Structure 1
Amino acid sequence: MTTLHHEHPTHKHTHGPSCGHRAVSHGDHVDYAHDGHLHREHSGHWDECESAEHTTHDGHAHAHGAGCGHDSVPHGDHVDYLHDGHRHAEHDGHYDDH
């Protein structure tokens, strides 16, 4: 899955293990949930971490929601759920991998 490279030019906060924002493992890097979106460090600046593709998570029988047992992360206009090492977002009756 490719990730779009959208630099967050006004991001002055430095994320890290004790910054107070939720860390989310995402492939070969860590995203941080902040202000309703996800940031990742990249070449000395912070990027908005957004998937460039619509990838359906086939065979996902588990319904995410309050009390489902998985951590939730606000992400723009929806909520992602951390499950099996990646983020799931409900979309058109199925879950997408982010």
Structure 2
Amino acid sequence: MDHRTHDTHDHKHGPNCGHTAIRHGDHVDYLHEGHLHHEHDGHVDECSLDHAGACTPSHACGAHPQAHRHGPGCGHDAVPHHDHTDYLVDGHLHHVHDGHCDDHGRVELA
């Protein structure tokens, strides 16, 4: 096995399971408590989005107040992305960086 797994995961992900579903390559992952899960071959994979994310200091999102700060408990789903955490806002990824919020691109919700 050449990928990370989430051991002791009792929840069964699928349509209508209550977690946000994101299309990731050729499959669907589910956001669950800051993790991105994909059921595969009898276990749950720990996934991370791997598309590029640029620094976009001029990004102004109309989906939340300008003063909003992303972080644990902010009301947006946390999404593992490369070596950091982004937050899902209106179908795209926000990343807190150097005093501003970067737009790390759109995701396809499933």
For the aligned pair, the TM-score class normalised by the smaller chain equals 0.5 to 0.7
Structure 2 Cα separation of the partners of residues 78 and 40 of structure 1: 18
Change over 3 Å in CA distance of 1:64–1:31 after alignment to 2:
farther
RMSD, matched Cα? 3.3
5+ unaligned residues in a row in structure 1: which ranges?
Answer: none
TM-score by length of 2: 0.56
Q: Which of the two has higher C-alpha Rg?
A: 2
Change over 3 Å in CA distance of 1:19–1:55 after alignment to 2:
same
2:26 matches 1:28: yes
5+ unaligned residues in a row in structure 2: which ranges?
Answer: 66-75
The structural deviation recorded for 1:32 is 0.8
The structural deviation recorded for 1:18 is 2.2
TM-score by length of 1: 0.61
Percent of aligned pairs sharing the same letter: 37
Look up the SS of the partner of 1:18 in the other structure: coil
Q: If each structure's strand is expressed as a fraction of its own residues, which one has the higher value? A: 1
Instruction: Give the letter for the 1:90 counterpart.
Output: H
Change over 3 Å in CA distance of 1:89–1:56 after alignment to 2:
same
